Amino acid sequence: MNTEPNISLDQTYHYPPELLEMLTEVIPCLFKSKQGVIDFFRGAGTPVPFLTEWQSKVRADRDSVKKHEIARDVLRRLNEGGDKTLAQRREVIKRVSEFEDFSTCYENDRYKAQGLVVQIQKVVNVRDSFTRMNLEREKERKQHQAAYTTSIEAKQKEAKQRAAIKDSLYKLFAETDPYKRGKQLEGILNSLFSFAGFLVREAFTLKGDEGQGIVEQIDGAVEIDGMLYLVEMKWWDQPIGRQEIAPHFVSVYGRGNVGESSSRIRDFRLLLSKMRRRA
């Protein structure tokens, strides 16, 4: 009993020499007539021009043509056809490897044909195994390469973002307008927090009861490990003293747990940016 082979010859290869020779030997043995050989190739989708000359010779003078001549010439032309005859080459392999009805052979060719078919099955399956391994290696290599490229691109992007934030901060030292400088600093620090992976809420205001309007302005807020931190930013061109910093501590300690029930904030901490450098 003949087991159906797993035929999947690598599409990028032509028939290797040993396989080409076995095909040249086995196909003439599989059929008693020369017309049978031609019909086999026609059934495999062989281009008509490859068979026209042989068809004419068989009709004109059957005895002047040998089955091996037909098989060798057609296989050679298929092999040299490159990508254009790829499907036909694979179909020939498939049909030979799956051949089971050896009643079409001459009696003295039957065992030879059976033996060659088995050999072709082994050759194709062995080559297919190597092909699959090579394809897997290539796939793995491309995956590693893609991952490496992605990693490099991510690092380059991160470096550009960091450099852009740093450059923006350095440019502020040339800004003489304190208000403009302060507003720009808010944006830069928000970018820095966001770059570091913190959730950021930009500057916002708190309003009191009706008629009170805005009672407090907060420069920003960041969430770190589930804790919310309010950010107050100041840019001073002189060292900070007690008079400047005391109001902020009063605001912090006077806040208590206001808003805890509505926003589920357990703790408030004030991050006071103290910049002692001169503008």
**Sequential pLDDT tens for the chain (279 residues):** 444 444 444 443 467 888 889 999 999 999 999 999 999 999 999 999 999 999 999 999 988 999 999 999 999 999 888 888 888 988 898 899 888 889 889 999 999 999 999 988 887 776 654 455 556 667 777 888 888 888 899 899 989 998 998 998 888 888 888 778 877 887 888 788 788 777 766 555 544 455 544 445 666 677 777 777 776 767 777 777 788 778 777 766 665 444 443 333 333 333 333 333 333
- The bridge status of strand 199-201 relative to strand 214-218 is unpaired
Give φ, ψ of 253 to 5 degrees.
-70, -25
Determine which helix (DSSP H) or strand (DSSP E) holds 199, and give its type and residue range.
strand 199-201
Structural domains of the chain in order of their starting residue, each with its CATH number: 1-174 (no CATH), 177-273 (3.40.1350.10)
List C-alpha distances in Å: 70 to 31, 35, 54, 57, 241.
Answer: 12, 10, 7, 10, 103
Reported pTM? 0.44
